Amino acid sequence: MTQSSRTKRRRRGDSPNPLSLLLGPVGIAVLMTALIGGLWYRNRPQSVAFEPNTTIGEAAMTNIQTFPDQGQVHVAPGQPVNYDTDFPTSGPHDPNPVLPGVYSQEQRLEELVHSIEHGNIVIYVDQPGQVAMDTLTAWASEFSGYWDGLVVVPRPGLGEEVVLTAWNHKLRLPEFEPEAAATFIDTYRGRGPENPVR
């Protein structure tokens, strides 16, 4: 065998197979995609389905507080109002409502009262737990209408307690109970005095 044929054979043997070059990066990409997908599926947010009018939910309705209507007068923008409850359910309010959604900062009570006048449900939370926040966030995405949405706002000092308000109505839950919250929401959402839509 000549020197040149040995050199050719060695070069052919040493050169990488084009198929292995293609499968290497593709195989790694497929493996990484599968790994990332598996981690996402395992760690995905677990939100509770919206299930109103369950046995638990109906039992919770006996704990709803109902208050006299304090009126619907608009005050000047930014003007403070002295409400007679910590979580007002009616009364004079700012001309600008808080729009439906989940907020990371406290919102003015005067604007929140306008939100419930519209038929929104205002939900006050502090540290209700990750499942509760995932659930409320999912519900706020589902119910985002101007006249029938959910407004989730922080209220420091509540701890695990969750407070739901609608026009003239309030429900305090020592800890998040999805069936109770869903029943309250279903009962009063979209039924504010300014423009009932349900």
Indicate whether 7 belongs to any domain.
yes
Q: Distances from the Cα of 37 to the Cαs of 20, 45, 138, in angstroms?
A: 25, 14, 21
* Residue 39, domain extent: 3-43
Q: Within this chain, do residues 136 and 156 fall inside the same structural domain, yes or no?
A: yes
Q: Within this chain, do residues 161 and 111 fall inside the same structural domain, yes or no?
A: yes
Helices (H) and strands (E) in the chain, counts: 6, 6
One digit per residue, the tens of pLDDT, for the chain of length 198 reads 555 555 555 555 555 655 555 566 666 666 667 667 666 555 555 678 999 999 999 999 999 999 999 999 999 999 999 999 999 999 999 999 999 999 999 999 999 999 999 999 999 999 999 999 999 999 999 999 999 999 999 999 999 999 999 999 999 999 999 999 999 999 999 999 999 999
| Separation between Cα atoms, residue 168 and residue 182, nearest integer Å | 18
Q: Within this chain, do residues 39 and 79 fall inside the same structural domain, yes or no?
A: no
